[in-house]
Every structure is written in C-alpha cells, then in structure tokens.
Chain A
Amino acid sequence: MSKSERPNQLFRNLNAKVASIPMVLTALVIFVGGSAWTVLYSFTNSKLLPRLNFVGLDQYYRLWSTPRWLVSIENLLVYGVLSLVFSLVIGFLLAALLDQKIRFEDTFRTIFLYPFALSFIVTGLVWQWLLNPEFGIQGVVRGLGWESFNFDPLYNSDIVIYGILIAALWQGTGLIMCLMLAGLRGIDEDIWKAARVDGIPTLKTYLFIIIPMMRPVFITALVIIAAGIVKVYDLVVAQTSGGPGIASEVPAKYVYDYMFFAQNLGQGFAASTMMLLSVVVVIVPWAYLEFGGKKRG
C-alpha cells in the first residue's frame, strides 16, 4: 500500500539499511532460523547427520525416560532456585552494606566483583582445588584436629550440585551487587529522610519502601541470573565433568554430549528445544512488559 504512494520507499535511508544487514541476518537467519531449524529437526530421528525423517515425538519420549536427562533437570531446578535466591539476597545485602557511606567503598567493590572477570573454567578449576578432599578445605580442617570433619561436595553425589553452587555464587554475586548498588544509588535521598522523619526503622524502610521501589532492578537481575542458569555448562565441565557418575549433569552438557560425542543429533535437538521452551516461559512475559507494553523513544 505505502509502496504505491512512495515508490522509492525501499531506497530511502539506504545506508542505514545496508548498515543493518548484519543485524537483520543475525536476527532472522541465526536467531529465528537457527531456532526453527533445531525445533524442526528435533522431530526427526537424525543420528550422525541431520535428516528429515520425521518420527513425531519419539525423541521427547526417549528424552524424558533417560535417567541422565532427569538428573540434569533436577540439578538445574535445585541449582536454579538456590542460585536465584542466594544471588539476589547476597547481592542486595552486600550492596546495602556498601551503601552506608563507608570508607574504602571502591576497594570492597573491586574485591567483590573481580571473580566476575574470570571465566567459568578458571572458577571451576579453583574451586575444584579448594574442595579437593585430600588437600583442600576438608584436609586442612582435619589437619587442625577435627578428624571427623566432612566436606567433600565434589565427590559426594548427593551434594555435588551445592559444590558447583558455591563456585557459581563466588563468581556471580559481584555482578548482582553492582546492579543493586546502582539501584540503591538511584533512590532519592529524600525518601530516606522522609522515612527517618516518620521514625520508620531502617530494616522496615528497606523491606517496605526501598525494595518495592527497586522493582525494575530486581527484574533485570532476575532475568540476568535466570538466563545464566539455563546456560550453565563450562562451570560443570571444569569442576566435575558431570561426575561423580552423572550426579552433576546439566541440560546444556547433555545437549553438547549428544550432538558432538554420542552422535545422536535428534536427542541433542530435542534436549535443546526443551531448554528453549524453558527460556520462552521466562522471557516472553518479561519481553512483553519491557518492549511491547510501552512505546519508547
């Protein structure tokens, strides 16, 4: 319709369109196309090579009856919930402590944030060493005379996921702290004054005034943490390689192993589609609120 009114519509602003070609290609070919391709091939029985031989939901039935996948999902849930809660709580507490007009604020912030500059591989390997039962924390405490002290998360399949959680929190809480600190700094000083004049205790001010006002920051933090949880892969590879046994497997590792080692592409595609689905459930409502609801300039 608009084409007939303005015949040179396509060539208006041509340079900008040319400059946007990489973005358009990435958005359409990789993000939309790639995801659609993977979802489509998850309904096939592709093994070594992708083939369009449809078998319906077979791969999904197989997926949900594979113990390794079930362990992966359980780990992801435990890890996800705990890391979400602890990241938000620790991040906020640290930010609140740093926001008390203290001295050496920059030093403390630098210390809390530096692990975030390190890769998950480095993080995983350091904590593998610290949690080494013979030489690490357990060995040291036993050496001090407490012979029955037990702390070997990486070698105990019941608690291995907590060992990974410790490392993940060490690496990631600094980022959340920084976000929260920026949020706290964005709150008007007058709010604090008003609360003080009204005689509201500090704790109550935080809980009922400041935190509700920081809702956007919390949502951003939540989305960042949630996106990171689904992607968790390197940390597990470095720290435990999924062991002991299959006790610390996660979905991302399942996908990688089935695609590139087990040569069972169909399983890999089905598993990655499940990952996609879990993200969609979280992201779509957020994206709608953030981008769809209001027009921004």
Chain B
Amino acid sequence: MADHAVSLPAGTGSIGLEASGPRGPKPRHVFSRRNIFLYGTLIVVALYYLLPLYVMVVTSLKGMPEIRLGNIFSPPLEITFEPWVKAWSSACTGLNCDGLSRGFWNSVRITVPSVILSIAIASVNGYALANWRFKGADTFFVILIVGAFIPYQVMIYPIVIILREVGLYGSLSGLVIVHSIFGMPILTLLFRNYFSSMPEELFRAARVDGAGFWGIYFRIMLPMSLPIFVVAIILQVTGIWNDFLFGVVYTRPDTYPMTVQLNNIVNSVQGVKEYNVNMAATILTGLVPLVVYFVSGKLFVRGIAAGAVKG
C-alpha cells in the first residue's frame, strides 16, 4: 500500500526531482512489496542451492538404521562420526578396502606439481605473448584458444600413444603433463591479458636499463602480478582436483585420484549400500575445492570473470 502512495505522484512531479535531487537510490521502506518479493525469491532459491549440501552433511552423520527409517531432510537424532572414519580409512572400492585416504594423497601428489608446472609454463608464455611478440606467435595463440574447445575425447587416444612411447603412461608424471597441457589455453589467456594491461613504460624502462627476457620476468613482472597468480592457483587447484576423465584414462587403479576412487566406492555394485558412508566420502572429496572457494571468496569470482569475460 505504502508503495502505491509513493509511486502515484512520481509520474507527474518526480522528473524535476530526479535531475536536481541528491544522488543515490531513493530510500525505500523495508517491508515494501518489492522487497518482500525480492528477498523472498532470493531466500527460496538460496535454500534450493543449499539443500544438497545440508542433506549431504546430515546423512553422513546418521547411522544406517536411522536412514532406513527416517527422512533425508531431518537432522540426525544421534550424531555419529563412524561413517566419516569408515569413508576415510576402510571403505571398499571393489579392488581394495583402504578407504579414500589413498585417493586423497594421490590427488595431492597430482594437484601440487600440476598446478606449479602449468602456471610456470603459462605465465612465461603469456609474458612472451604480451611483451615479446614474435612473428607467428599470435597464430599459435589462436590455435591454442580454439583448441580449448575441442572435446577432450578427440585427443585422449593420441596422448595415450605419446605417453606410452615416452614411458609415462599410467604414471602420475604423465597425468601432470596432461593437466599442464589442458590448463595452458585458459591460463595463457589469463596471463597474457594481465601482462598486456600493465604499463608499457615499465617494460621499456627495464629494457633501457639492460634487463633481458628473464630479468624482466623475475624482477618486475612476477612481483607485480601476485594477484593474478593467486587467481590462477585457485582456478587450477579446483579444476585439477575435480578432474575425473583424465584421472580415469591416464592412471592405474593404485594411483587413481580421489574423484575416481569416490565414484568407485559409491557406485560399486557389491555389498549393501551404506548411504551415510557414501555421503561422508562425497563431502570429503568436495572439501578441498569448497575450502578453496570459501577462503578465496572474491578472488574466485575474479578468476572466473577474468578467464571468461575478458577473453
């Protein structure tokens, strides 16, 4: 009602007010119809987005008898951490029964070197593209960017052959190389755009002072571009940790990353389904990227925006 009373004279008298009045939005009533609609919608949608996380946590804290009787949305009557312990140390994948811990450490051993290697390559590469352009560089860059859209399935098998030829097929090093290759397009784009946006005079001054390719990179570019390195690390840690396809293709069962092992635990056909253990295992696998996401906050968003919109 209050809304009506305010908006009625607006058609006649407010134009002059708008032009000369104070800047900023019009103060509004807290419980206007607009606000109720706006916040109501947002809260309902937010609940929908939070529901799966809530159900995951709640289920993982219940015992199996309670799950069979109760409702997946109800909070646990008796909190038990046994499913978490079992998921971590003794859940079975069909091949072995030592839980997700093996996959967790495999994922760590895959993610850390992959992140370092891919960022090292791409940052130097982006720097060369931004400041030391040579003939033909842009052609390769365009191939690289367009290549990012080729479905991985097209290139999987040739890479298997190459890795087999050099004796790295099935090893963690092979997978690290694969991650570095497929991380290259987006990261190179990210770094190239960032370095291009830095003032040209800086680069010129360093050259006049006699600094060379690596000198400028390590002494000037690197210290000045820490934010973009953080963005790249966030992007790569989440991306590589969450990978499934490359893990399943390029590693053997004893070196499977966490996602592959999780899928094997939950979707294994043998035995009785233990939903609480499955959900605990699922949360454990999602924990690393979730922590990265919540800790990094705005930088995560910035990474996405920088990678996607600027392109």
Contacts and interface: CB of A to CB of B under 8 A. Distances in A.
B308 A119 contact: no
Interface of B: 11, 15, 18, 25, 38-39, 41-42, 45-46, 48-53, 55-56, 59, 67-68, 71-73, 121, 124-125, 127-129, 132-135, 137, 140-159, 161-162, 180-181, 184, 188, 196, 212-214, 238, 241-245, 249, 259, 262-263, 266-267, 275, 278-279, 282, 285-286, 289-290, 292-294, 297-298, 300-301, 304-305, 308-309, 311
The interface residues of chain A, by DSSP majority, are classed as helix
A139 B155 CA distance: 43
Contacts of B132: 13, 15-16, 19
Interface stretch (A77-85, A205-213, A230-238): A230-238
Interface in A106-152: 106, 108-115, 117-122, 125-130, 132, 135-136, 139-140, 143
27 contacts: A19-B124, A22-B184, A23-B121, A26-B147, A26-B181, A35-B155, A37-B158, A102-B39, A108-B42, A109-B301, A114-B290, A114-B294, A117-B289, A118-B289, A119-B244, A120-B244, A125-B263, A126-B282, A129-B278, A174-B49, A179-B305, A183-B309, A199-B11, A220-B311, A238-B267, A259-B157, A268-B153
B155 A38 contact: yes
A13 B311 CA distance: 26
Interface stretch (A61-69, A157-165, A269-277): A269-277
Nearest to B290: A117
A170 B184 contact: no
B193 to A, nearest CB: 10
Contact of B49 (A115, A276, A297): A115
B140 A260 contact: no
A130 B278 CA distance: 13
The interface residues of chain B, by DSSP majority, are classed as helix
A136 B70 CA distance: 10
A57 interface: no
